[in-house]
Amino acid sequence: MQEYEIVINHRGIEMPLRKIPLAKDEIYHIYTRSIAGFKVFDDHIDYNRLIGAIKYYSLTTPPCRLSAFDDLLKLGKAPDTCNLKQLVKIIAYCVMPTHIHLVIQEIRDGGISNFMNLILKSYGKHYNSKHGRKGPLWEGPFKNVLVKTSEQLIHLTRYVHLNPVTAFIVNKPEEWPYSSYREYIGIKADNNICPPENRLDDMDVESYIKFVNDQIDYQRTLAVIKNLLLE
């Protein structure tokens, strides 16, 4: 079944409309990739720009403009956002060279769709300005999968955090600074996005590290098989 239907907006432009709306309080795996698998994150600045946008646009009312927020992040002086009202709750994330994984809870009606629209447009504007290009950066509407159980959730965070290891970019997930894994295991991160209470449920840090590392070889093998089947 198709996830979207095409409707005509008030300007006569065709727009994709999600057939099954995202539900308040539910948790989703959100995934989006660049057009044709194009590398859209070139350096530390690019990755941090997107991660900063994730933190900024998760708030219903950000404390300042995004440009000022980015400057404060670079200085390690970003305002404390823990007590500010959330548009969405970020449970886990991983930013890869060509795609983005997010595990998000819908806090307000329409929150995830609004949040994704803001971060993707913001980064697209940044990237196009930097490279003197025009046009869309992302392949289309983001994909979403409902997370139904706490067991599914913890396995999903492992899958998300192992993405750079599976792709053979790094050997250990903690070597990749553009995911929430370091937050999960207590390593000081430049941008703390995921509230501690949303991370591990009842699993302690050492158990989670083992839980993740035990899956590395298996997940890499699956990725190799998948690539061979697609060739």
Give yes or no for residue 192 having a pLDDT over 90: no
The residue-averaged pLDDT of 130-155 equals 90
Q: Where are the domains of the chain?
A: 21-230
- Looking at residue 138, its pLDDT comes to 92
What is the overall mean pLDDT for the chain? 82
Q: What separation, in Å, do the N-terminal and C-terminal C-alpha atoms of the chain show?
A: 26
Quick: pLDDT tens for 71-101: 666 666 666 665 568 889 999 999 999 999 9
The residue-averaged pLDDT of 1-21 equals 46
Say which residues have a Cβ less than 8 Å from residue 222's Cβ, sequence separation at least 6.
Answer: 166
Q: For residue 195, what pLDDT band results from cuts at 50, 70 and 90?
A: low
Class of domain 21-230: alpha beta
Q: For residue 220, what pLDDT band results from cuts at 50, 70 and 90?
A: confident
Across 2-16, 52-66, 184-198, 209-223, least confident range = 2-16
The pTM of the full predicted model, rounded to 2 decimals, is 0.83
Give yes or no for residue 193 having a pLDDT over 60: yes
Q: For residue 189, what pLDDT band results from cuts at 50, 70 and 90?
A: low
Say which residues have a Cβ less than 8 Å from residue 120's Cβ, sequence separation at least 6.
Answer: 32, 137, 138, 142
pLDDT top residue among 229 and 182: 182
Quick: pLDDT tens for 50-75: 998 998 888 887 767 777 777 666 66
Give yes or no for residue 210 having a pLDDT over 90: yes
Distance of CA 144 to the CA centre of its chain: 12
DSSP string of 136-172, one letter each residue? --BSSSPEEEEE-SHHHHHHHHHHHHTHHHHTTS-SS
Specify the long-range contacts of residues 33-36, CB closer than 8 Å, at least 24 apart. Answer: 33/98, 33/99, 33/100, 33/138, 33/139, 34/98, 34/99, 34/137, 34/138, 34/139, 35/136, 35/137, 35/138, 35/139, 36/139
